[in-house]
A and B are shown apart, each in its own frame.
Chain A
Amino acid sequence: MPMAQAIERFVSDGSSVVMGAALEPLIPFAAGHEMIRQGRRELELVGPISDSLFDQLIGAGCVRRVTAAWVGNVSEGLGHCYRRASESGVPRAIEVHDHSNFSISLALWAAAWNVPSLPTRTLLGSDILRTNPNLSSSEGLVHVAAVRPDVAVVHVQRADDQGRAHAWGPLGITEEAGLAAERVILTCEQLVDASVTLSDPNRILFPETKVVAVVHEPGGAHPSPVQGFFGRDHAFYRAYAQRSRTKEGFEGWLRELVLEVPDRANYMQRADVQPHAIRHSRPSVPVDFGDE
């Protein structure tokens, strides 16, 4: 399914959307940019750390609430759009539900297991307990209320058209994000035959019953890394940090690399993505699923 159609059909105004669940790798930038182009409003963004993607959606005015452990630019520091929105309501005020990385994982597992909350010892003694209404403590434990997103958008190395995804490398909180969400949109580097994904069912990320769309979008995670496909484009993150420092700078960046971009192929040229392609292959040894 084309990206525009997947976002049009499955991400409506006011949705709660989890993205960037693998932390620094596999961030679905192409999907986030399509939400901006389609003018989505009143979104709740859910995630662990967001390496610049949440900042961009906030700056574009798409966001009403952020439920996350960290929002900024991992190699550069502060998220300037996040600052403007939080400090002075520009382009609009946002609500923030602070978490730690561990507690946002637990909030999603709670939703995945269909329980109201999960207990933990993390966040004891932290003021995050004071500001997030979905966290409470009693008898030496913190209770993390379930966070149930409407949709998880997940970028993977390969998937088939039935929604079976293979991802490798560290996964962060991807599994609980997909299980917690009502539905999953996959974006992938390679669209493969089912015989490929089914040859290794241990590596299939989600039950296919959760997946509502598979979008073949090579380079759809740029500038974040994709093991085996792309390295992280540090210079791109640096340029974004510099240009987003002012509202006007951000708006120029947004026009050039999101609003005026007709499709991902055009983006790949504008952002000069190809030099970051991985050149040295390191295949794993296949496992044997012999059954009789």
Chain B
Amino acid sequence: MSEAPVGSYTPQELMVAAASREILDGDLVFVGMRLPILAYAVARDAHAPSARGLFEVGLMRDRPASAFLGTMGDPPNVWGALWATRMSNAMALMAQGNVDLGFIGGAEVDRFGNLNTSYVGDPARPKVKLPGSGGGADIAILSRRWVTLMSHERRRLVERVSFVTSPGHGDGSSGWRERNGLLGGGPAAIITTLAVLRFPDGGGETYLASVHPGHTVHEVREHTGWDLKVAGDVAETAAPTEAELAAIRRFDPDGFWTRP
């Protein structure tokens, strides 16, 4: 598979390709919104032909929709579904530990993978009121592992989030999730516009695992709001392949999600 040259794809397209590689064949994926919808489509097309998608609106699918989706509830996502149902049924599967991977969008993330999508500043008088959890907190607590995608900026990758909407590894201490009764394994990766950050087995603090082509470790650390740890074997993120790019552009023909 040939990798596309730097400059022939957008940061969002690379993020979709990187996210799609988190999906393993046979996974049940809690898909979420925006770029992950495309990531599921690319994975299903490329390397995970038997991955199923679960959508909190109340849908299960074994293939991407045949037309562009603005939301998971769009009519093309319903036609050809394996199951059209109520949300509590989709949540039942996740509560039973059947969801292998979830995707969550975040406005702010901290070094322990906690996400804030609720309030910047004091909740009683917020500086910024963000939309809220949606299904984010549910995925963070109940899915077996999860991945978040966001723009890599100092104001988004912060030392500690001021409000934990969707818990990651809490205070970073060993066994925090288990001690607090959280069922799933927590965040596995933070995929940004510059890099992929991962977590040690068993949780704790995130570290820089790979830097996207055309960017540097120094640049990633400059745009991170804490002293980011760097893996000894830090790599370059694999660029999207021509096949992955073709799939992304088939499912997002006008660049609604990937060419903003």
Cβ-closest chain A residue relative to B163: A127
Interface size class of A (residues with CB under 8 A): 35 or more
Residues A48 and B133 in contact, CB atoms below 8 Å apart? no
A72 partner, pick from B95, B125, B131, B137, beta carbons under 8 A: B131
Check if A125 is an interface residue, CB within 8 A of chain B. Answer: yes
Residues of A within 8 A of B123 (CB): 131
In the bound complex, what is the Cα–Cα distance between A103 and B183 (angstroms)? 16
Residues B133 and A171 in contact, CB atoms below 8 Å apart? no
Residues of A within 8 A of B166 (CB): 126
Residues of B within 8 A of A169 (CB): 73, 75, 78, 84
Check if B91 is an interface residue, CB within 8 A of chain A. Answer: yes
Among A43-92, those with CB < 8 Å from B are 48-49, 51, 68-72, 74-75, 77-79, 82-83, 86-87
Check if B127 is an interface residue, CB within 8 A of chain A. Answer: yes
Check if A210 is an interface residue, CB within 8 A of chain B. Answer: no
- Please, what's the 1-or-0 string for B126-148, where 1 marks a CB less than 8 Å from any CB in chain A? 11111111111110111000000
Residues B88 and A83 in contact, CB atoms below 8 Å apart? no
Q: Which of B88, B118, B166 has the most CB of A within 10 A?
A: B88
Size of the chain B interface, CB-CB below 8 angstroms: 52
A282 partner, pick from B79, B137, B140, B180, beta carbons under 8 A: B79
Residues A70 and B132 in contact, CB atoms below 8 Å apart? yes
Residues B132 and A126 in contact, CB atoms below 8 Å apart? no
- Number of interchain pairs (Cβ within 8 Å): 188
Q: Which of B51-59, B198-206, B220-228 forms part of the interface with chain A?
A: B51-59
Among B83-107, those with CB < 8 Å from A are 84-88, 91, 95
Residues of A within 8 A of B135 (CB): 69, 100-102
Residues of A within 8 A of B141 (CB): 121-126
Residues of B within 8 A of A83 (CB): 128-129
Residues B71 and A126 in contact, CB atoms below 8 Å apart? no
In the bound complex, what is the Cα–Cα distance between A48 and B88 (angstroms)? 12
Ordered nearest first, which 8 A-B pairs have the shortest CB separation?
A24-B73, A170-B58, A72-B131, A86-B129, A125-B167, A70-B134, A140-B181, A24-B71
Footprint of A on B, CB under 8 Å? 33, 55-59, 70-75, 78-79, 84-88, 91, 95, 118, 123, 125-138, 140-142, 163-167, 170, 177, 180-183, 256
